[in-house]
């Protein structure tokens, strides 16, 4: 009897911490008769099942499809209890794509349980800003766009992600009414107030021993996040973006005004009411989010004061200066315009000529060989005469 636990996120609900713990516990899991089905990408220490899906497009054209070849190779029973975790599965909103995944799972596993940790929409969108500002291109950047604000501007296509009732109903239709479990991502609702401890308890596994809860992908400061979003909106990436991020302050939290958070959440009031009707917690109580907004100030921290704007500009200039310094070093100069030790002044450097570098006759291939130009002229003369 092979049982599958399919952890589908959502994003920013401790998924990376859970996957990190599962990856580290791979051998103890096997001894307990369980297996963690995952892929570890090169140079990363966390394995997951995010490669089961592929995203494409931007904004309203954003779409997610199931990668059937990866599903075929990854979702195979290896023990009595099999666990797969991938928050990118939460991007799926097309019932037909979810059904594709369900067909393979039902064929290969005797039973399945789908677990989704849900965070209140305003809190999830706020936390998701880190992925928009990340150096590597993330699906979140293409889905939300680049607005220099704590919360993304509302757009109709956001319903496809944040209407939790519609999304989980599609999973229920594909996998079965009793297979999908919704868990509030709130300290009071989780074992020991920790996602890792809660997840291991729900799947019936011993949680890894640790002095402190595992924390991965912690949030970044307000200035760094806003400047990174602005840089990416301008098409800045690579080393330039990294330099700006390094120079930017990592102090303070990026949060919207209380009224803005309430207005953002209001778009899903009816959807959350339907969620409470159709989904219940382990104790039988209706699924419901907290209605506490006290964590938000009257004025959001995404509004710049003159002093903050000047400081941010100074940090951007420091990032630009760091890039210029590296370029100067590659050209034979020190960081402050000083010549690097052993480097000759520009006026004393050898000039390119025939057979030397790119000047004159060129120094690469046949064109740099002695007599090449003379032979070329003779061939041209013979061709013209004939």
3-state secondary structure 324-367: HHHHHHHCCECCCCCECCCCCCHHHCCCCECCECCCCCCCCHHH
Q: What predicted TM-score, i.e. pTM, was given to this entire model?
A: 0.82
Q: What's residue 361's pLDDT? A: 47
Q: What's residue 264's pLDDT? A: 98
Q: What's residue 376's pLDDT? A: 61
Nearest Cα to 89, choosing from 61, 123, 60, 52?
52
Residue 236's Cβ-side half-sphere holds a number of Cα atoms within 13 Å equal to 18
Q: What's residue 338's pLDDT? A: 59
Q: What's residue 220's pLDDT? A: 85
β-strand partners of 295:
none
Q: What are the DSSP calls for 230-255, one per residue?
A: HHHHTT--HHHHHHHHHHS---S---
Task: Supply 104's token pair.
Answer: 């393979």
In three-state secondary structure terms, 161 is helix
Q: How far apart are CA 301 and CA 295, in angstroms?
A: 12
Q: How far apart are CA 224 and CA 249, in angstroms?
A: 6
Q: What's residue 359's pLDDT? A: 47
Q: What's residue 227's pLDDT? A: 95
Q: What's residue 48's pLDDT? A: 95
Task: Supply 350's token pair.
Answer: 């050898």
Strands (E), 3-120: 3-7, 34-36, 39-40, 47-48, 53-56, 63-66, 81-85, 111-118
Q: What is the mean pLDDT of each run of 10 residues along the chain (386 residues)?
A: 96 95 92 93 82 97 97 97 97 97 97 98 94 89 94 96 98 96 95 94 87 61 94 92 94 96 98 96 93 96 94 94 87 59 60 50 52 63 65
Q: What's residue 369's pLDDT? A: 54
Q: What's residue 41's pLDDT? A: 77
β-strand partners of 218:
none
Phi, psi of 53 (to 5 degrees): -130, 160
By DSSP bridging, strand 39-40 and strand 47-48 are antiparallel
């Amino acid at each position: 009897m092979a049982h599958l636990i399919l952890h589908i996120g959502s994003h920013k609900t401790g998924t990376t911490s859970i996957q990190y713990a599962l990856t580290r516990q791979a051998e103890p899991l096997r001894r307990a008769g369980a297996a963690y089905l995952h892929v570890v990408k090169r140079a990363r220490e966390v394995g997951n099942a995010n490669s089961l899906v592929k995203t494409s497009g931007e904004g309203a054209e954003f779409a997610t499809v199931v990668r059937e070849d990866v599903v075929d190779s990854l979702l195979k029973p290896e023990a009595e209890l099999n666990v797969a975790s991938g928050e990118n599965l939460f991007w799926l909103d097309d019932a037909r794509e979810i059904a594709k995944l369900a067909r393979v799972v039902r064929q290969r596993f005797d039973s399945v349980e789908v677990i989704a940790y849900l965070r209140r929409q305003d809190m999830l969108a706020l936390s998701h800003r880190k992925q928009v500002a990340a150096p590597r291109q993330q699906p979140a950047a293409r889905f939300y766009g680049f607005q220099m604000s704590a919360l993304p501007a509302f757009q109709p296509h956001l319903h496809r992600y944040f209407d939790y009732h519609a999304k989980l109903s599609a999973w229920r239709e594909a996998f079965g009414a009793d297979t999908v479990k919704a868990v509030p991502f709130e300290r009071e609702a989780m074992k020991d107030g920790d996602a890792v401890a809660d997840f291991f308890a729900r799947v019936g596994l011993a949680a890894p021993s640790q002095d402190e809860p595992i924390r991965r992908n912690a949030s970044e400061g307000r200035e760094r996040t806003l400047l990174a979003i602005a840089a990416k909106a301008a098409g800045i990436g690579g080393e330039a973006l990294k330099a700006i991020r390094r120079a930017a302050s990592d102090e303070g939290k990026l949060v919207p005004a209380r009224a803005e958070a309430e207005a953002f959440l209001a778009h899903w009031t009816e959807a959350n009411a339907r969620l409470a009707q159709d989904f219940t917690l382990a104790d039988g109580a209706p699924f419901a989010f907290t209605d506490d907004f006290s964590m938000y100030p009257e004025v959001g921290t995404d509004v710049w004061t003159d002093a903050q704007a000047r400081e941010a500009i100074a940090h951007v200039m420091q990032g630009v200066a760091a890039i210029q310094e590296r370029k100067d070093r590659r050209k034979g100069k020190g960081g402050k315009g000083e010549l690097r030790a052993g480097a000759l002044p520009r006026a004393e450097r050898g000039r390119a000529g025939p057979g030397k570098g790119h000047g004159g006759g060129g120094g690469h291939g046949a064109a740099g060989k002695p007599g090449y130009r003379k032979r070329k002229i003779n061939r041209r003369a013979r061709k013209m005469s004939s």
